[in-house]
Structure 1
C-alpha cells in the first residue's frame, strides 16, 4: 500500500541518497543542503512509501514569487514561511519504482498542500522534455528560465490557483509517466 507522508528526521540521509540516484551530480543537492532544507522547512517535504521503503520524495521552499532563483537551491534561509507560493526543488522516484504513478501522486499531494495552506500556487523548473508532463497537472510554461543550475537549460513552470483555490486552466492530470522533476 502506498502512503504519502512527511518524512522523519532520521530519513533525511535516505532522501539525500535518493536525490543522488534520481539526478545528475551537478544537479543533486548535497546531503548537507538536504539536511539544512529539512531543518528549515520540514513541512515542505513529502515522501511516497510502500512496503516500509521510501520510493520517492518531493521538497521545496515557500517564497513570495513562483519563480525559483538558483541561490534558493543552496540557501535554505531564503525560505519564506509566509510565502504565497510553494516551490519544487526536487521530485524524484527511485528508478525501480518508476512508471507506477508515484511522481504524479507526489505532485498532486504537493499541489493539494499548497491549496490547503491558502497559497497562490506552485512553481518549479524543468527540462524541455518534461514541459508536457507538468502541463498535464495544470502548470503553464513561462519560457526559458534564468536558472543556470547544474549547467542545464530550464523552463520556469507555474501553477496558479484561481480564486476558489483550484488550478487555473487545469487539464485533467494523467498518470506519472516521466518521474524526474525539478532539480537540486
Structure 2
C-alpha cells in the first residue's frame, strides 16, 4: 500500500468512498470535495493498493484548535499558515477496513502536519471512535457543538510536542 498526495483524478474515487462510508446526511457532497480540493489540495492524501484508491484523509488548516461546522462548507476559512490541522474525514472502503489503512493514513497526516510546523490536529468523531483516536494520543475534550448530519460528535485534539 502506498500513501500519497491526492490528485485531481482521484476525486471521483474519493467521492465514491465517502458515499460508502457515511450516511447521506453526513457525507460530503461532490461540490464540497471539489471546492475543498481547489482550496487545500495539499491536505488530501490517499491510500492506494494495486493502483486502486482504497481510502483517504483530508482537512483544512485553521488558527484555532476547534472544528466548527462552518469549516466544512466555507473554504475561505482555510488558512494555509494556520496552527492547527483539521481532519474532515478519514475514510476507508469497507472491504479494506481493519487492515491498518486508516492507521497509516492518520500517521502520515500527523507526520506531515508536524513537518509543516502545526501545533496540533483536531477532529470530531462519533462515540465508538473516541477510543480509536485516543490510541494516537488524541484527547477527548467533550461533546462537540457540531450538528453535522444530525449526529452527535465528540471533539478530539492532538497537541504536538
TM-score (norm 1): 0.86
| Shift in Å, 1:74 | 1.3
Cα deviations by residue, 1:101-125 (Å, 9 ceiling, x for unpaired): 0001100000001100010010000
Secondary structure (helix, strand or coil) at the match of 1:41 reads helix
**Partner residue, 1:26:** 25
Cα deviations by residue, 1:40-82 (Å, 9 ceiling, x for unpaired): 0000010000100000000000000121010111111211111
1:132-171 correspondence runs (5 A) = 132-162=131-161
Q: Which runs of 4+ in 1 moved over 6 A?
A: none
Q: Which structure 2 residue ranges, 5 or more long, are not aligned?
A: none
Determine the C-alpha separation between the residues in 2 that align with 1:31 and 1:17: 9
Secondary structure (helix, strand or coil) at the match of 2:53 reads strand
1:89-108 correspondence runs (5 A) = 89-108=88-107
Secondary structure (helix, strand or coil) at the match of 1:134 reads helix
Select between 46-55 and 63-72 the one with higher mean Cα deviation.
63-72
**Partner residue, 2:12:** 13
Determine the C-alpha separation between the residues in 2 that align with 1:14 and 1:99: 20
TM-score (norm 2): 0.98
Cα root mean square deviation, aligned:
0.7
Q: Which structure 1 residue ranges, 5 or more long, are not aligned?
A: 163-184
Secondary structure (helix, strand or coil) at the match of 2:136 reads coil
**Partner residue, 1:82:** 81
1:45-64 correspondence runs (5 A) = 45-64=44-63
Determine the C-alpha separation between the residues in 1 that align with 2:33 and 2:19: 11
Q: Report if aligned partners of 1:49, 1:56 keep a CA contact under 8 Å in 2.
A: yes
Cα deviations by residue, 1:139-168 (Å, 9 ceiling, x for unpaired): 000000110001011110000012xxxxxx
| Shift in Å, 1:136 | 0.2
> Whose helix proportion is higher, 1 or 2?
2
Secondary structure (helix, strand or coil) at the match of 2:113 reads helix
